[in-house]
């Protein structure tokens, strides 16, 4: 695994747990973790359960003892690491968004397709697909329980940078992160709604905003931060703080999306609602084990939103966990992700979401950015398969 911070810890928990919970045809061994700071990565290896550590990701790629490379770094290094790993015949799990640019994502999807022919698997890490309630939500739509899909509305709200004195971390720099709230959390609701509905976003009209444009540099005088006796040095925020857009999905479905890291009081609030001709289903991450379901086919006297507690053994992923009614949490989505990836590798099937799926989300992010730059102009989403003029 490359990276050991927030996502590295989440992925490590999954790798530690997956074979202890699920009976899989292969066993994951946590062989080697990589990070730039030798002291910190050594501590992370010990704390997170890795056998060894290195400060050079090329060592993982070159090692004959490594079968899988898990990329948990900022977006600016995804393409380089993933492309090298695929070329070396390693299976690759890469965190979302797949890359910082469409060009990088296209190169990664093309390399994944080439590697696929040689039996090398790749997957983009959209972990919310693996929440049991979300997987059940998708099944309700696929089974026709909602009828004709008409509306999609999705929000992902956080507030961790509301304070203008919060430092200029990498997530606020375009060259490192690619985009702000749009790519960081907006990518999740873009993928999740397309996954649940089985439909692709075809066009968008968007606005974005950066509310705080200068922030203190992190650290002290050595790295340009606060100087003794003077105000802290600052740097420019080069990404969006919030993005709002309307969209069309295949079949004329109307959708609205909002991603913000300035929603004061909202810590990690993701909500998706799907309206159809026969019913509605809604998911709220703050009630991760539940679905709201409205069945318009029931007699009028019995209609109303029902609460489905998604903890039964027959619900997606739940058979390996606890008795009915015993709740699971955020970290379980990563264990389910690891389960699906290990099983796909061991059985020779292609996991989802693929790098091509990651590219499709990248194309939506790009269309939203271009629409906002053009002043909310309606912008078509480019096809994932690039066309070449004859």
Q: What is the CATH number of the domain that holds 151?
A: 3.30.360.10
Domain membership of residue 55 (yes or no) is: yes
Q: Please tell me the predicted confidence (pLDDT) of residue 76.
A: 97
Please give the Cα distance from 362 to 179 (Å, whole number): 11
Q: Which residues contact 311 (CB under 8 A, 6 or more apart)?
A: 132, 289, 318, 322, 324, 325, 326, 327, 328
Domain membership of residue 354 (yes or no) is: no
Final residue in a domain of this structure, among 100, 128, 156: 128
Judgement on whether residues 102 and 192 belong to the same structural domain of the protein: no
Please give the Cα distance from 176 to 79 (Å, whole number): 12
Judgement on whether residues 15 and 96 belong to the same structural domain of the protein: yes
For every one of its 390 residues, what pLDDT tens digit does the chain have, with 9 covering 90 and above?
Answer: 999 999 999 999 999 999 999 999 999 999 999 999 999 999 999 999 999 999 999 999 999 999 999 999 999 999 999 999 999 999 999 999 999 999 999 999 999 999 999 999 999 999 999 999 999 999 999 999 999 999 999 999 999 999 999 999 999 999 999 999 999 999 999 999 999 999 999 999 999 999 999 999 998 544 445 555 567 899 999 999 999 999 999 999 999 999 999 999 999 999 999 999 999 999 999 999 999 999 999 999 999 999 999 999 999 999 999 999 999 999 999 999 999 999 999 999 999 999 999 999 999 999 999 999 999 999 999 998 653 333
Judgement on whether residues 296 and 239 belong to the same structural domain of the protein: yes
Judgement on whether residues 72 and 152 belong to the same structural domain of the protein: no
User: For residue 346, which of 8, 17, 18, 16 has the smallest C-alpha distance?
Assistant: 18
Final residue in a domain of this structure, among 128, 154, 174: 128
Judgement on whether residues 154 and 58 belong to the same structural domain of the protein: no
* CB 201, CB 255: distance < 8 Å: yes
Judgement on whether residues 66 and 165 belong to the same structural domain of the protein: no
Judgement on whether residues 149 and 118 belong to the same structural domain of the protein: no
Q: Please tell me the predicted confidence (pLDDT) of residue 230.
A: 67
Where do the H-state alpha helices sit in 118-276?
A: 132-142, 174-177, 181, 187-197
Domain membership of residue 124 (yes or no) is: yes
- Going through 137-262 in order, the beta strands assigned E by DSSP cover 149-157, 201-209, 214-216, 234-236, 242-249, 253-260
Q: Please tell me the predicted confidence (pLDDT) of residue 94.
A: 98
Residue written as tokens 């469409």?
102
Judgement on whether residues 105 and 37 belong to the same structural domain of the protein: yes
Judgement on whether residues 194 and 255 belong to the same structural domain of the protein: yes
Domain membership of residue 142 (yes or no) is: yes
Please give the Cα distance from 43 to 180 (Å, whole number): 29
Judgement on whether residues 211 and 285 belong to the same structural domain of the protein: yes
CATH (domain of 57): 3.40.50.720
Domain membership of residue 184 (yes or no) is: yes
Final residue in a domain of this structure, among 111, 128, 145: 128
Burial 190-219 (b: 16+ CB within 10 A, else e): bbbbbbbbebbbbbbbbebebebeebbbbe
Domain housing 303: 129-347
Judgement on whether residues 180 and 325 belong to the same structural domain of the protein: yes
Judgement on whether residues 65 and 158 belong to the same structural domain of the protein: no
Q: Please tell me the predicted confidence (pLDDT) of residue 226.
A: 52
Domain membership of residue 375 (yes or no) is: no
SS3 142: helix
* CB 125, CB 191: distance < 8 Å: no
Q: Domain count for the chain, please give it.
A: 2
Q: Please tell me the predicted confidence (pLDDT) of residue 199.
A: 97
Q: Which residues contact 202 (CB under 8 A, 6 or more apart)?
A: 247, 248, 249, 250, 380, 381
Domain membership of residue 231 (yes or no) is: yes
Residue 95 sits at the vertex; the CA angle it makes with 385 and 358, to the nearest 5 degrees, is: 15
Burial 7-45 (b: 16+ CB within 10 A, else e): bbbbbbbbbbbbbebbebeeebebebbbbeeeeebbebb
Domain membership of residue 355 (yes or no) is: no
């Amino acid at each position: 695994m490359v990276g050991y911070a927030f996502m590295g810890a989440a992925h490590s928990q999954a790798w530690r747990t997956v074979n202890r919970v699920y009976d899989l045809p292969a066993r994951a061994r946590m062989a080697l973790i990589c990070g730039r700071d030798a002291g910190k990565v050594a501590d992370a290896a010990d704390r997170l359960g890795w056998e060894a550590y290195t400060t050079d990701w090329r060592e993982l790629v070159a090692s004959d003892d490594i079968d899988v490379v898990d990329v948990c770094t900022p977006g600016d290094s995804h393409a380089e690491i993933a492309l090298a790993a695929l070329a070396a015949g390693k299976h690759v799990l890469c965190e979302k968004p797949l890359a910082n640019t469409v060009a990088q994502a296209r190169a990664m999807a093309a390399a994944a397709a080439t590697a696929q022919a040689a039996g090398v698997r790749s997957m983009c890490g959209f972990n919310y697909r693996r929440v049991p309630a979300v997987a059940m939500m998708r099944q309700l739509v696929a089974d026709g329980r909602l009828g004709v899909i008409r509306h999609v509305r999705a929000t992902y709200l956080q507030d961790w940078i509301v304070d203008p004195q919060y430092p200029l971390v990498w997530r606020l720099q375009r060259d490192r992160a690619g985009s702000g709230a749009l790519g960081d959390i907006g990518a999740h609701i873009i993928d999740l709604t397309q996954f649940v509905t089985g439909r692709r976003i075809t066009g968008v009209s968007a606005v974005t905003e950066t509310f705080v444009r200068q922030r203190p540099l992190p650290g002290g005088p050595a790295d340009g931060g606060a100087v003794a006796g003077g105000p802290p040095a600052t740097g420019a925020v080069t990404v969006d703080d919030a993005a709002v857009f309307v969209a069309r999905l295949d079949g004329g479905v109307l959708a609205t999306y909002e991603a913000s890291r300035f929603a004061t009081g909202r810590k990690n609030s993701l909500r998706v609602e799907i309206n159809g001709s026969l019913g509605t289903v809604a998911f709220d991450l703050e009630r991760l084990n539940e679905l709201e379901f409205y069945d318009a086919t029931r007699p009028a006297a019995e209609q109303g939103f029902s609460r489905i507690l998604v903890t039964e053994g027959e619900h997606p992923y739940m058979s390996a966990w606890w008795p009915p009614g015993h709740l699971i949490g955020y970290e379980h989505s990563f264990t389910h992700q690891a389960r699906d990836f290990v099983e796909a590798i061991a059985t020779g099937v292609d996991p989802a979401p693929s790098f091509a799926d990651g590219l499709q989300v990248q194309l939506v992010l790009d269309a939203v950015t271009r629409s906002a730059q053009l002043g909310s102009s309606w912008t078509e989403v480019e096809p994932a398969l690039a066309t070449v003029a004859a």
